Amino acid sequence: MKILGLITVYAAFLASAVWFKPRAFVVISASMEPAVSKGSLVLTLPFGKYEVGDIVAFEHIRESVVTHRIIAAKNLAQGYLYSTKGDANNYEDAAPVSDKKVIGKVIASIPFAGNILGNPWAFILLVYFPLGFSLGVQVRAVPRCL
């Protein structure tokens, strides 16, 4: 019965990932402090439209991703064009961002998690090891249930 519950939770998690398309990014600069600290892990979800004040992740030059706040929005015939700025920066970003380049709105920021998860050994220790252990315990319980 526990395995069925575990499979159901896992399936719901996968379905939500497919349906909502969440993405996670590690913040590598201090440009958004104090709202988002360097080394944080930010979770984003795509929305149809973004508002002034939203913190968004967007595609920048050379396939990099930037996480900044929207400070102005223009509604054009082709879609929206956003002006963005890091909270700690003195000036807004040089180029406006097309709504087609916006990956999603930041819905959560986990301080220091990016530093930990960016390290492969820490990721194995904190994610894979506990997950493998819990699955192993569940699998060992199967023969007793039969």
- Length of the chain, in residues: 146
pLDDT band at 99, cuts 50/70/90?
very high
Let me know if 29 is a catalytic residue: yes
- 45 and 92, same domain (yes or no): yes
- Out of 101-105, 113-117, 120-124, least confident range: 120-124
- Enclosing domain of residue 56: 23-111
- 72 and 136, same domain (yes or no): no
- 44 and 32, same domain (yes or no): yes
CA 21 to chain centre: 10
Query: Residue 3: inside a domain, yes or no?
Result: no
* 37-49: pLDDT as tens digits: 999 989 999 988 8
- pLDDT, average across residues 129-144: 61
pTM over 0.75: no
* Catalytic choice (29, 37, 83, 98): 29
- 47 and 59, same domain (yes or no): yes
Rounded-to-5 percentages of helix, strand, coil across the chain = 35, 30, 35
Count Cβ atoms within 10 A of the Cβ of residue 146 and give its class: 0-12 exposed, 13-18 middle, 19 or more buried: exposed
Query: Residue 13: inside a domain, yes or no?
Result: no
Query: Residue 52: inside a domain, yes or no?
Result: yes
- 47 and 57, same domain (yes or no): yes
Number of independent structural domains in the chain: 2
